[in-house]
Chains A and B, each alone.
Chain A
């Protein structure tokens, strides 16, 4: 280090001495290579001196310089250029955009920008283009495959359906906990909860879906506890920091983009198309049983007009989405603004499902003086649509016989047309569930800088939404012989109002102690309040058919839920930078919460992290551009939900009955001494860059332990409560994250960037609570006792799926795991024996997740694709369970075969007995009852817990930017056309619809239970962007 600085000093003296007194003035224009636009605010510095200036608003600069001196042009987001001055009076410079600049700036807590190299923890930034390119309308889905250690799962393919994001594994033993990160827009947290429908799943939205992705400038994912220590309790699962677009000084720009997309199912299960309606091989056109009849050949001998429809295709349609956005921005040195309007309309593949979003945004910044700045931002959105009962739709499609046209669903008088079973399309059309969310997210930021070393910042924001939901299921229409959807019909009106207020005041003290040592200290106070209220009113039995109003229902029931939570925090954050080499960051925070008992509601937690850029200290070979190691240790506290403490009474939903309201002691009791949870996390990592940043490697190892978990511990109901909310248990996550990025080709016309990220997470439930053996996270129905349950057990990973299996010879009776490699025991009747006790059949948490990004650009063309994958994950395939029970699955084609099951009899001898797989009397004269698939196959959960790994092409985009000569004749500054495709399954062992689907919605943790979810879709888009 000493040597290097000495050389620098010598050089400086040498330069200074050799060039004196020949000072000229040079001026010029700095433009960007990307669009030829002037660049404002570029630092222009004479190397080795303190003479410098910045470009003005038109991109012009002027500076005094001596011949032979070197001019350095630098600006964030551009590669720095050095030009030796050779006496000319004008020097125009074109800066090349640099996406992987070393001085990459990332936005961390409270909208504070920090140089990435100074951070002692992993952080990953995703740019605006990387988000909009995915064409995902849900911001959360747009993050799929983009960042290491970030697992994003769509809950299904419905328009506006929620997506779940988990960073570095699940950190809570509470099955009801939201394990998702905090979402922060421009320094102010917003609500990203998912409020699912009661009753049959409807696929509602997570609230981040209200954000128009086109308004986002950049997005940072803070993964570790260290990164989030400053946001306190609400960011204990990490944070997604969103920076929205702002106006730039310069001429007014107008951007318009329009996009048209089409959706279709990306993968179908394998269906049999041979056997028709009936049971036991007997055809019956009125039978409940869709597929246990004889073959079509035999059916057509009975009735030649019977067809076998492809009901799975017929019942669906092509989804369409149309997205239009316009934005206008501009400003000058004193004030800038950005405004946008967007409208999205989406129709899903299940008929009558739709969703839309209208968004309007306005933001601006005013610089009153050197000392005082003010910025504001307001975003208003209206979102919602009709949410079809997709689980029920798909279930009814399972029951629907393919010998009847499913599209012929309605009679002229408006009643359902059916041979007996409920028509799914009729149900989807008339059992409506409409939601409309009106939301305003806004914030104001005041910055006062009375001295160079002092900033005072006040940031206040609100997130208010009303969510209006109306669910209607019609009763009988009063027409003779009709098949009503419900014998009574009902209407439920739901009104949800939620208001968040965040207030954050902080002071920043900066000081350069010496040339090499500088510090920044930030001290602040932070207040949060959420006020939530929900009212539900249900009316049953309509007095006038088809007149859906609460006032005209025979019975009315209501419920109300009010919640208020407050948090107050005080924090301090000290950053020390020594010579741009060693970076130390210490934080401390104390939170006070309203949700814990007074006396236990104050909690303090510190963090420390250190980054060391070792390439600054040691001479490295030329190809070793940059190297940093980093480490951090942090604690984060966590509070809980409101109103958990103590004992209460509740009125069960069955009341009122006969005008009387019953009361029962509420089954949950909250510990009067409840304490905050504590997560301790450590992290080590390194960031290495080679060959002038053309190759980069970033590796992180982390481990986090969450202790004193506040969980609803199931206790013996005999004690007076069934759950006791108390501090109990610990969960550990540890894992590795890898990012390899590179630019294999970079020439004038052609550029190829590639980046691969991968993460491995290992999870263990360290302890629960003495006397408590398990916690149930979720359970899902399977026929014949094949229901599965996700349970947490001490010493086991999160997400084990328990269910029934085939009995195995030589199985360890003490093992909770199914050993699939052992031979199956065959019963005396020749069929496999079923083990009814619950064994672990798989795990719902992927071991490996990751993504591969490629960007190619050639002149005006660009091609990019994003692949993401997950592996080491199993799920319960409820569809498959139904398909086997109803003879729909392709593998049931062998129903008329006689086979010998592989396996051994109880006495150890190999099975040799042939058995028939069909129903009723077999060719051997034996009565096989309901047959193998109904008697045995469907009752064994093992058959339906399946590998749900996949490799998906999340997005592929081919675009063309019109070039200079064409643009000259067009009235636009810029124009771009692109085509894209999304969510194409490249590989999966899963037999069924898209394995990326789960019933509980993004707020739930039982992700391995697919349910009869809304099938996943692949999409194709055509997009046009125009700039004025």
Chain B
């Protein structure tokens, strides 16, 4: 047993050595690569950049539904309105809302009121993008990891939150700030006045979404517009970079490299080439490409390209047009859109104002995409466009607004509010049979949510509308 004692001695010695030094020796697990705090400016950079990206992403999802674009492949899932899992875009929306959440909390801590205000406006915008597509979504239990399975908030309540976020944003922007926003803001370069106008414009947009509900108050829309954009120079947009090009330009370049995409719908071509409305729209060649033969030929939604070759025989997005310039902007909200909102809200109150706003909206968008003023005048003076106040209908507003919202996700909100009532707007071929001959009303919840938060995901079909779409 002499042995035993010896052994223990060593064990005790070794342990003593180990314990005294261990804790310090092992306390090296602070991440040297990622900081635990992010600067406000860094969060602003990412929040504005990703807001623009999300506008593209959501636009990319909805362009087939509103028949700006059509898939070159027959019966492509998004084109025929099948349930598609948009886990990526869902994740991007929540990622940026998480960052904006952190931006707001940090700005509150530091009394950086302008950061907080802009954060609230960006939050309202991204949340509305999410609600308009999916309806009920997580918000109150979101972002701060209070639970791994956040519950879903009612979509109409989220709309109240969106409006109140915009109101808080305006209030914060009108206060003093401990830190001013600058080049870290990719949308307005720190111009608080423009953010204020943008907030009012968005408020008008979202109040106008109530058009089909009992809570619609067109006067509230018009009063918000009073403080909105004053011209195209106020447009909320982000211009792209040499290092990171405009995502629609990317689609066009990919298509040229035979990663097919960005094919123009026959509906869009026929709406602008005179087939449907009897007037040729000078914007067409500035927005989309022609075939090798110089013609504008669209693709029928859901039908695919048939025996058309991959290149040269159909209109597609081509690099260098207004929406597809490498460093060109993605439009988030425009003066043109605001004018059409005004036209819609004023229609039942002051039809003359409505008509004028409609004409101003067309002019604003034409100017935006670079139509010559003589051509603008020619188009606007065409009786098919200037039909006069008496013949002027709500259909005219929706048609021109649809053109002006090219590639923007807001177009799908309109299409649903308008019940896809555009001229000759047919269901896609090979329509998802589950829709029973109806148009899609919402997106399916993404697989990532179903697999990770399945118990909370509402049970809905693609025909169940968002609350404002009754």
Q: State the CA gap A568–B24 with chains docked (Å).
A: 12
With a CB–CB cut-off of 8 A, which chain A residues contact B101? 720
With a CB–CB cut-off of 8 A, which chain B residues contact A163? none
Shortest C-beta distance, B255 to chain A (Å), equals 13
Given A288-B310, A657-B45, does the pair A715, B452 have CB atoms closer than 8 Å? yes
With a CB–CB cut-off of 8 A, which chain A residues contact B42? 649, 651, 661-663
Q: Are A648 and B31 in contact (CB under 8 A)?
A: yes
Q: Are B17 and A525 in contact (CB under 8 A)?
A: yes
Q: Are B145 and A720 in contact (CB under 8 A)?
A: yes
Binary interface encoding of chain A residues 583-612 relative to chain B, with 1 for a CB under 8 A from any of its CBs, else 0: 000000000111101100100000000000
Q: Are A568 and B26 in contact (CB under 8 A)?
A: yes
Binary interface encoding of chain A residues 538-564 relative to chain B, with 1 for a CB under 8 A from any of its CBs, else 0: 001000000000000001010011111
With a CB–CB cut-off of 8 A, which chain A residues contact B94? 717-718
Selected from B10, B41, B141, B186, the residue in CB contact (under 8 A) with A523 is B10
Q: State the CA gap A560–B27 with chains docked (Å).
A: 22
Q: Are B142 and A601 in contact (CB under 8 A)?
A: no
With a CB–CB cut-off of 8 A, which chain B residues contact A717? 90-91, 94-95, 448
Question: Which residues B38-81 have CB closer than 8 A to chain A?
Answer: 38-39, 41-43, 45-46, 49-50, 73-74, 77
Binary interface encoding of chain B residues 354-370 relative to chain A, with 1 for a CB under 8 A from any of its CBs, else 0: 00000000000000000
Q: State the CA gap A929–B452 with chains docked (Å).
A: 40
Q: Are B452 and A784 in contact (CB under 8 A)?
A: no
Q: Which residue of B lies closest to A785 (CB)?
A: B77
Binary interface encoding of chain B residues 245-285 relative to chain A, with 1 for a CB under 8 A from any of its CBs, else 0: 00000000000001000000000000000000000000000
Q: Are A719 and B7 in contact (CB under 8 A)?
A: no
With a CB–CB cut-off of 8 A, which chain A residues contact B46? 652, 655, 662-664
Interface size on B, residues (CB 8 A): 77
Instruction: Tell yes or no: A666 within 8 A of B by CB.
Output: yes
With a CB–CB cut-off of 8 A, which chain B residues contact A715? 148-149, 452-453
Q: Which residue of B lies closest to A555 (CB)?
A: B243
Q: State the CA gap A563–B241 with chains docked (Å).
A: 33
With a CB–CB cut-off of 8 A, which chain A residues contact B452? 714-716, 771-773
With a CB–CB cut-off of 8 A, which chain A residues contact B458? none
Q: Are A523 and B7 in contact (CB under 8 A)?
A: yes
With a CB–CB cut-off of 8 A, which chain A residues contact B422? none
Binary interface encoding of chain A residues 327-347 relative to chain B, with 1 for a CB under 8 A from any of its CBs, else 0: 000000000000000000000
Q: Are A566 and B28 in contact (CB under 8 A)?
A: yes
Instruction: Tell yes or no: B32 within 8 A of A by CB.
Output: yes
Instruction: Tell yes or no: A924 within 8 A of B by CB.
Output: no
Q: Are B148 and A724 in contact (CB under 8 A)?
A: yes
With a CB–CB cut-off of 8 A, which chain B residues contact A562? 32-33
Instruction: Tell yes or no: B387 within 8 A of A by CB.
Output: no
With a CB–CB cut-off of 8 A, which chain B residues contact A601? 26
Q: State the CA gap A818–B210 with chains docked (Å).
A: 47
Q: Are A720 and B241 in contact (CB under 8 A)?
A: no
Q: State the CA gap A662–B143 with chains docked (Å).
A: 19
With a CB–CB cut-off of 8 A, which chain B residues contact A958? none
Selected from B26, B146, B454, the residue in CB contact (under 8 A) with A598 is B26
Shortest C-beta distance, B38 to chain A (Å), equals 4
With a CB–CB cut-off of 8 A, which chain B residues contact A664? 38, 43, 46, 50, 95-96, 99
Q: State the CA gap A568–B15 with chains docked (Å).
A: 11
With a CB–CB cut-off of 8 A, which chain B residues contact A646? 36
Instruction: Tell yes or no: A890 within 8 A of B by CB.
Output: no
Binary interface encoding of chain B residues 129-140 relative to chain A, with 1 for a CB under 8 A from any of its CBs, else 0: 000000001100
Instruction: Tell yes or no: B309 within 8 A of A by CB.
Output: yes
- In the complex, how many residue pairs between chain A and chain B have their CB atoms under 8 Å apart? 204
Shortest C-beta distance, A712 to chain B (Å), equals 12
Q: Are A771 and B41 in contact (CB under 8 A)?
A: no
Instruction: Tell yes or no: A21 within 8 A of B by CB.
Output: no
With a CB–CB cut-off of 8 A, which chain B residues contact A772? 451-452
Size bracket, chain A contacts: 35 or more
Q: State the CA gap A660–B349 with chains docked (Å).
A: 47
Q: State the CA gap A666–B38 with chains docked (Å).
A: 10
Instruction: Tell yes or no: A647 within 8 A of B by CB.
Output: yes
Q: Which residue of A lies closest to B451 (CB)?
A: A773
Q: Are A523 and B14 in contact (CB under 8 A)?
A: yes
Q: Are B307 and A771 in contact (CB under 8 A)?
A: no
Q: Are B142 and A720 in contact (CB under 8 A)?
A: yes
Selected from B15, B27, B137, the residue in CB contact (under 8 A) with A570 is B15
Selected from A564, A660, A785, the residue in CB contact (under 8 A) with B184 is A660
Binary interface encoding of chain A residues 659-681 relative to chain B, with 1 for a CB under 8 A from any of its CBs, else 0: 11111111101000000000000
Given A555-B243, A718-B94, does the pair A669, B145 have CB atoms closer than 8 Å? yes
Q: Are A771 and B148 in contact (CB under 8 A)?
A: yes
Q: Which residue of B lies closest to A771 (CB)?
A: B149
Given A669-B145, A771-B455, does the pair A716, B26 have CB atoms closer than 8 Å? no
Instruction: Tell yes or no: A658 within 8 A of B by CB.
Output: yes
Binary interface encoding of chain B residues 1-26 relative to chain A, with 1 for a CB under 8 A from any of its CBs, else 0: 00100110011001101100011011
Q: Are B150 and A716 in contact (CB under 8 A)?
A: yes
Instruction: Tell yes or no: A1022 within 8 A of B by CB.
Output: no
Instruction: Tell yes or no: B348 within 8 A of A by CB.
Output: no
Q: State the CA gap A720–B138 with chains docked (Å).
A: 11
Question: Which residues B180-196 have CB closer than 8 A to chain A?
Answer: 183-184, 186
Q: Are B45 and A661 in contact (CB under 8 A)?
A: yes
Q: State the CA gap A667–B74 with chains docked (Å).
A: 37
Residue from A560, A592, A660, A927 with most neighbouring chain B CB atoms (10 Å): A660
Selected from B28, B138, B144, the residue in CB contact (under 8 A) with A716 is B138
Shortest C-beta distance, B58 to chain A (Å), equals 16
Shortest C-beta distance, B103 to chain A (Å), equals 9
Q: Are B27 and A598 in contact (CB under 8 A)?
A: yes
Instruction: Tell yes or no: B306 within 8 A of A by CB.
Output: yes
Selected from A594, A662, A716, the residue in CB contact (under 8 A) with B449 is A716
Q: Which residue of A lies closest to B452 (CB)?
A: A716
Binary interface encoding of chain B residues 94-121 relative to chain A, with 1 for a CB under 8 A from any of its CBs, else 0: 1110110110000000000000000000
Given A521-B7, A663-B46, A664-B99, does the pair A643, B29 have CB atoms closer than 8 Å? yes
With a CB–CB cut-off of 8 A, which chain A residues contact B102? 665
Give chain B's interface residues, CB within 8 Å of chain A. Answer: 3, 6-7, 10-11, 14-15, 17-18, 22-23, 25-39, 41-43, 45-46, 49-50, 73-74, 77, 90-91, 94-96, 98-99, 101-102, 137-138, 141-150, 183-184, 186, 241-244, 258, 304, 306-307, 309-310, 448-449, 451-455
Could you pull out 26 A-B pairs where Cβ atoms are within 8 angstroms?
Answer: A523-B14, A525-B18, A562-B33, A566-B28, A568-B18, A592-B18, A594-B29, A597-B29, A598-B23, A649-B34, A649-B36, A650-B34, A654-B244, A657-B49, A662-B43, A666-B34, A715-B149, A717-B90, A718-B143, A719-B147, A720-B142, A724-B148, A771-B453, A772-B452, A773-B451, A836-B77
Pairs A-B, 8 closest by C-beta atoms:
A662-B46, A663-B42, A648-B34, A662-B45, A663-B38, A716-B453, A643-B31, A649-B38
Taking A557-B243, A657-B49 as known contacts, 20 extra A-B pairs with beta carbons closer than 8 A to each other, sorted by chain A number, are A521-B7, A562-B32, A566-B28, A570-B18, A642-B31, A643-B30, A643-B34, A648-B34, A651-B42, A654-B49, A656-B243, A657-B186, A660-B184, A660-B186, A664-B96, A664-B99, A717-B90, A717-B94, A773-B452, A773-B454
